[in-house]
A and B are shown apart, each in its own frame.
Chain A
Amino acid sequence: MASSFSIRHQSGFTAIAATCFVVLYLPIVVLVVYAFNAATSTSEWGGFSLKWFQSAWQNTQVIDATLRSFQIGATAAILATVFATMAALATTRTPPYPGLTFKYAAINQPLMVPEIVTGVALLIFFSRIKIFTGYSGLGYLIAAHTAFCIPFAYLPIRARLENMDLMLERAAADLYATPWQTFRRITLPLLWPGILAGLMLAFVISLDDVVITEFVKSGGQDTLPTYMLGQIRRGITPEINAISTVFLLLSVAIVTLFFFISRKRD
């Protein structure tokens, strides 16, 4: 028989996979290349230039929206991670107790509803509260982002906790550590990679959100994605390519970091 009968071979699968990877990356590469285009049109190549990066950098709307995105993302990610860590501690390493299943369902609920529905629901609810309290600041966006970031932050933290046994914590308690000391000196350091992964996921998820932000934001509260959505609808300039390229770099950096942190723990 021929020497190479591989049991792993399925005809055409490698070709399809190769096509998929090329197709996944090709549009992104084209987008990045055209960010460096000197021409105003996004279809003609007019030579290499950094002018669109410059013009984005000098666009106060872009800078404003970016800062707002970071402000919302950082606040929501930190809140979501703290709450998710507490919730994960409360729902792991325990025999089943009444309400445990309810907690799982409640924490994962934001994942199961299409974003458009959550967006509409928050539009209705928050518009009432805005009239009632007169407050129309970033608090609504932060609350909404915190809520949908919690399930993402919860995932890696819970996974990490489930792989930790209670032995070290019991030993600490035997040595007269208070519960707080045990948490601070034993649980928290062991849990840290999970918390960090959760924090990064939450931050990326918040930074990427378009739909819920679009419905919740008040006037002048554009985040970078909602600003870009508006610009793309109005017509394309390479400036959007430049902004996208920077945004992409940031996402890739965070994902790479996340990837290495989550690989390390195995």
Chain B
Amino acid sequence: MASAEEVAKAAERRDIRDRWLLSAPALLIIFLAATGPLLIVLVYSFLTPGPYGDVKWQFSPEAWISVFMERDIFDDTLSLAAAHVTIFWRSIKLAIVTTLATLVLGFPTAYFMATRSEKTRDLWLFLITIPFWTNLLIRTFAVLQIIRNEGLINTVLLKIGITPIQILFTDTAILIGMAYVYLPLMVLPIYASMEKLDFRLVEAGYDLYATRFQVLRRIIFPLVKPGVVAGSILVFIPALGAYVTPSLLGGGKNMMLSNLIELQFGQGRNWPLGSALSIAVMVIVMVALLAYVRNAGQSEMRHG
């Protein structure tokens, strides 16, 4: 006869099996239509481009070489691919500046929201949630209408007698657009940590003759740092891979990585290079995520 222990073991095993069966459909569809195909991209990045797009099944490191290098068509020598380097640099730079801009604007906003009375807090939260869930394309389009040459900014400038400025199709336009669309992504996580902030600590700081800035820097900021880090990651990752904003506001010349990738799958007809570039973007994102995980782990150890 089975002992009580064996019966319990069998029940536990059955429970775990049931739990796998229950999660199978979700795992399967994610594997088929999200995770699995990423592995194919990795394989494609080591193949030879086909004449009309797609690939020939022939190993070649060429795509990876041309991520950063250019082969001279006459003498086959390699040199730094200036165009690609520029686009990588522009994407990383714009993603970082966007993150900083949203932080500078979003931190005070989150603080303002968190210091309202309990009742009005919900209203402010609602006001920041609406743009968050509003179609990104529509919000980019809204920015486009403001900053284009015949847009609100230039119309106003013209009215008060200042020469209009060209904003659209510049890096500044991409920056404005990205900061605009990703701002709620920064505010929400900072607000979430700010809401739990214990203001008795702030009071204690003032009792000990701290200035407002000291309180901000030494008490408030360290306590809401997990929210700041989470917000920065939430902004940095989509900003680095942004597609809609740079293609509408940046024009054809000011490409970001996603536009370069798209080009390889369209007119460029170089799927392996497109794949290699995609993997490169993923690597940058992974590095950022790892930094986040390490940071989150550390602050958890310190605070709790």
Q: Are A and B co-members of a single complex?
A: yes
Tell whether, in the assembled complex, residue B37 and residue A21 are in contact, meaning their CB atoms are under 8 Å apart: no
Please determine whether A83 and B26 come into contact, CB atoms closer than 8 angstroms: yes
Residues of B within 8 A of A147 (CB): 29-30, 32-34
A residues less than 8 Å from B187 (CB atoms):
20
B268 at the interface (CB under 8 A from A): no
B135 touches A247 (CB 8 A): yes
A12 to B108 Cα, complex, angstroms:
8
Using known A-B contacts A113-B38, A117-B41, A144-B33, determine if residue A7 contacts B145 with beta carbons closer than 8 Å: no
Cβ of B33 and Cβ of A8 under 8 Å apart?
A: no
> Considering only CB atoms, which chain A residue lies closest to B289 in the complex?
A112
Instruction: Report how many residues on chain B are interfacial, defined by Cβ distance under 8 Å.
Output: 88
Cβ-based interface call for A186 (8 A): no
Partner-binding segment picked from B2-10, B67-75, B77-85, B121-129: B121-129
Contact B241 A87 (CB under 8 A): no
A196 adjacent to chain B (CB < 8 Å): no
Which chain A residue shows the least CB distance to B141?
A232
Q: What residues of chain A lie closer than 8 Å to B19, measured between beta carbons?
A: 90-91, 94, 97
User: Most chain-A Cβ atoms within 10 A of its Cβ — which of B122, B129, B241?
Assistant: B241
Q: Tell me whether chain A's interface is mostly helix, strand or loop, or mixed.
A: helix
Q: Is A109 an interface residue (CB 8 A)?
A: yes
Chain B hits for A8, CB < 8 A: 115, 199, 202
Q: Are B16 and A97 in contact (CB under 8 A)?
A: yes
Residues of B within 8 A of A211 (CB): 243-244, 258
A206 to B57, CA, bound (A): 35
- Indicate whether A175 reaches chain B with its CB closer than 8 angstroms: no
Selected from A27, A116, A143, A215, the residue in CB contact (under 8 A) with B180 is A27
B20-A90 in contact (CB<8A) = yes
Residues on A with beta carbons closer than 8 Å to the beta carbon of B261: 116, 120
Q: How far is the CA of A198 from the CA of B237 in the complex (A)?
A: 23
Interface residues of A in 200-215 (CB under 8 A from B): 204, 207-208, 210-211, 214-215
Determine which of A30, A114, A143, A254 lies in contact with B145 in the assembled complex, contact meaning CB atoms within 8 Å.
A30
Asked if A236 is at the interface of the complex by the 8 Å CB criterion, the answer is yes
CA of A124 to CA of B131 in the docked complex: distance in angstroms? 33
Name the residue of chain B whose CB is nearest to the CB of A151: B30
In the complex, the answer to whether B199 meets A120 with C-beta atoms within 8 Å is no
In the assembled complex, A197 has its CB within 8 A of some CB on chain B: no
Encoded as 1 (CB less than 8 Å from any B CB) or 0, chain A from 59 to 75 comes to 00000000000000000
Counting from the closest, the 10 A-B pairs by CB-CB distance are A114-B241, A17-B112, A121-B37, A27-B142, A90-B22, A43-B150, A147-B33, A125-B37, A13-B108, A16-B108
Q: A90-B20, A208-B133 are in contact. List 12 more A-B contacts (CB 8 A).
A: A10-B111, A17-B113, A86-B22, A87-B27, A90-B18, A107-B23, A113-B34, A116-B257, A121-B38, A143-B33, A147-B30, A232-B144
